[in-house]
Structure 1
Amino acid sequence: MSQLTRRRALGAGATALVGLAITGVAQAAQPGDADAEPKHWGHHGGPQPFDETYQGRRITGAPSHGGGHHGGGHHGGYSVQIDGKDLHVMQNADGTWISVVNHYETFATPRAVARAAVVELQGASLVPLDV
């Protein structure tokens, strides 16, 4: 039977610390943390519509219907507007959402994407994206 050496004890301790650190990073990266908006799903399994004023801007979101560029596909079948102008949003494969304004940050819901875009715009108007 092998004896516990200082090298083995330090190795086991370091392995445990790395495991805890990885677990903490993975939990922090989850889009549904305690500060995030809870997911509110509509009748068809998608996010519910919303219409509110956030930091003085009117944000709306609802499932989009029909064909064409705004009728589904990479939009996830959902339309978001800020002050009546379309905010290009996309749903990722993991269910999170991004926008053209916050393309490298994911959010749990389209409402959270719209709110983050308002913050990022800092009062500037949303310019239509011609695709």
Structure 2
Amino acid sequence: MPTVSDVASYLAELDDIPGTRVFTAARAREGYHLNQFAMSLMTPENRARFKADERAYLDAWPISEAQKQAVLDRDYNRLIDLGGNIYFLAKVIACDGLSFLQGVSTMTGMSVDDYQAMMLAGGRSPDGARSLKDMN
């Protein structure tokens, strides 16, 4: 049976993958209300309320100021760092009238066309730094 130290060491390794944010139990706990907010956008009434006054709608949720600001900025990488799950955050993307492809391409710094071409070609190359330690 793994020890607490073994589990902590394993989870620390997940944060060592360059450019990757693993949705861990800790992120799930931190983002619970953020993800509930995103899921609330499944109804037309809530989408209309959100679009009418985004800040007021966010203030009704028990989420951190950093999470609220990341939503307002549509900073999806930051939202994932703060516990957001991309499948729930897709509701925010859709609320803006964007496709999932358009929304996630903003997370890469690539154009939609370049991102789509990369993904159709099999995704990012596995070559390069495999650890943040290798990048220093």
Instruction: Give the TM-score taking structure 1 as reference length.
Output: 0.22
Higher relative contact order (CA 8 A, sep 6+): 2
Higher helix share: 2
> In terms of Rg, which structure is larger?
1
Instruction: Give the TM-score taking structure 2 as reference length.
Output: 0.22
Higher strand share: 1
